[in-house]
Amino acid sequence: MRLIGLAIVLTVSFILAPLAAAQQPTKLPRIGYIVLSPTSETPSPERAAFLTGLRELGWIEGKTIAIEYRSAKWNVELLEDLAEDLVRMKVDVIVTAGGGAPLRAAKQATSTIPIVMARSVDPVAEGLVATLARPGGNVTGVSFMIPELGSKRLELLKEIAPRVTRLAVLWNPATGGSDLELRATRAAASKLGVALKLMEVRNADDLVRVFAALEKERPDALTMFFDELTTGYRELVGDFAKKHRLPTVFGAKEFAEAGGLMSYAPNVPEAFRRAASYVDKILKGAKPGDLPIEQPTKFEFVINLKTAKALGLTIPQSLLVRADEVIQ
């Protein structure tokens, strides 16, 4: 009788054990998402594109994947701590929403956790990867290393404002790839008969100093190279340019939306959507060092017609028909 009872207990145990295991919650893969700018409950166009890219590949936030968001709220000095926090949490992948400071902070915090950069400038020059084709190490993603766009922007500016002969160039020498963009811009300026006035902007104090200098020197137009930090000054730069009737061209759509005259740049949300494919591959076993870094193939030409009218400029129809977006 005891043997029968033991057999029943063992049989029940074998039946219940798989059921108990099945009832235990499955551990979700975790992504660390680090960004310099503030985050909000409503995702930015870039973050929305990233989440869409994940959903297209079967990764649903809160259901099949968990995302830990960390924002420095424009405080660069906080990025290192935020990156280290994600490393302590042992996330499976870190996504840097941009290159520059967030990417450097993540790379400094870990050499083992895969890092996907959603938008970087020149990761090779910054020593973060070996080559674009074979990055090596733990970093991969999307690079915006296309310095020739600087010359294209200057050509567009001359089409809209042909009398421009003096161009103020606001730039951050600390940004990887900015020297390459400057070289291309200089070559185009020489060809088009435009003199460049270089003005360094590394922080808000520099911007105040530059504005004061521009009020005295009165250039014909203004451009600002894209930088993860200085993009936060886009509204200030746009307002200053309109106040002083300066035509502007920028390397990010956000500047045109904030009141700049125009922008010619890669499609940033598309780059964030592509970053999701890297996360997918890595979570399925791929090594980041074996995944080639992509460069954008889609570019957007945006004209702010409202700003053009405020500056007293008439945009040629030939340019309007080429624009991907015209802000009324």
According to the model, what pLDDT value does residue 176 have? 65
Q: How many CB atoms lie within 10 A of CB 318?
A: 8
Q: Is 3 part of a structural domain of the chain?
A: no
- CATH code of residue 238: 3.40.50.2300
Tell me, yes or no, whether 174 and 244 share the same domain. Answer: yes
Tell me, yes or no, whether 102 and 39 share the same domain. Answer: yes
The total domain count for the chain is 2
Q: Domain range holding 98? A: 30-144+268-290
The least confident of 3-12, 17-26, 224-233 is: 3-12
For the whole model, what pTM was predicted?
A: 0.80
Q: Is 169 part of a structural domain of the chain?
A: yes
Tell me, yes or no, whether 196 and 236 share the same domain. Answer: yes
Judged by DSSP in three states, 312 sits in coil
Burial (CB count <10 Å: 0-12, 13-18, 19+), residue 114: buried
- Residue 20 reports pLDDT greater than 60: no
Q: Is 242 part of a structural domain of the chain?
A: yes
Distances (CA, A) of 109 to 22, 79, 105: 36, 10, 6
Spell out the residues 6+ positions from residue 315 whose beta carbon is closer than 8 angstroms to its own: 160, 303, 305, 308
Half-sphere exposure for 187 (CA within 13 Å, toward CB): 12
- Vertex 109 angle, CA 103 and 110, to 5°: 95
Tell me, yes or no, whether 132 and 114 share the same domain. Answer: yes
The packing angle between helices 204-217 and 234-243, to 10°, is 10
Tell me, yes or no, whether 181 and 319 share the same domain. Answer: yes
Tell me, yes or no, whether 63 and 123 share the same domain. Answer: yes
Tell me, yes or no, whether 79 and 129 share the same domain. Answer: yes
Sorting pLDDT into bands at 50, 70 and 90, what band is 230?
Answer: confident
Q: Is 140 part of a structural domain of the chain?
A: yes
Q: Is 12 part of a structural domain of the chain?
A: no
- Give the model confidence (pLDDT) of 94-134 as tens digits: 999 977 789 989 999 999 999 999 988 778 877 889 999 99
Average pLDDT for 221-247: 87
Residue 30 parent element (H or E): strand 30-35
